[in-house]
């Protein structure tokens, strides 16, 4: 997916935001899979989605930046050196993201 964002109007903005939301959901699923068999460190209704951010490098490759309680709990549960591998794609009105958590 292009690292470009919302340069072409409402449809492009919606596609861009849908991709970012898909990454957030995929991050939570990858983290949950790493903690299989244990309760979530942050109850789902208390999760601050704004603490999970998609960022791109200078070449448009997506990654994840965590903040706040999410960052603290990820470090506490899977370690400080956790790496996120992100694939993000758009096709028409659909956005999909796949995230691998390397701990």
Determine what percent of the chain is predicted with pLDDT higher than 90: 84
pLDDT in tens, 22-55: 999 999 999 999 999 999 999 999 999 999 999 9
Tell me the CATH number of domain 10-102, given options 1.10.10.60, 3.90.470.20, 1.10.645.10, 1.20.1250.20: 3.90.470.20
Q: Sketch the domain layout of the chain as residue ranges.
A: 10-102
Q: Which helix (H) or strand (E) element contains residue 14?
A: helix 10-34
Q: Quick one: how many helices (H) and strands (E) in the chain?
A: 2, 4
56-72 pLDDT, tens digit each: 999 999 999 999 999 99
Q: Are strands 94-102 and 83-91 parallel, antiparallel or unpaired?
A: antiparallel
pLDDT given at position 2:
46
């Amino acid at each position: 997916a292009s690292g470009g964002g919302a340069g072409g109007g409402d449809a492009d903005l919606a596609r861009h935001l849908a991709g970012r939301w898909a990454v957030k959901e995929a991050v939570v699923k990858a983290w949950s899979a790493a903690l299989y068999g244990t309760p979530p460190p942050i109850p789902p209704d208390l999760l601050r989605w704004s603490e999970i951010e998609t960022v791109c490098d200078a070449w448009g490759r997506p990654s994840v930046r965590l903040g706040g309680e999410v960052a603290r709990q990820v470090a506490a549960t899977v370690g400080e050196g956790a790496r996120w591998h992100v694939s993000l794609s758009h096709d028409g009105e659909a956005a999909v993201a796949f995230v691998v958590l390397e701990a």
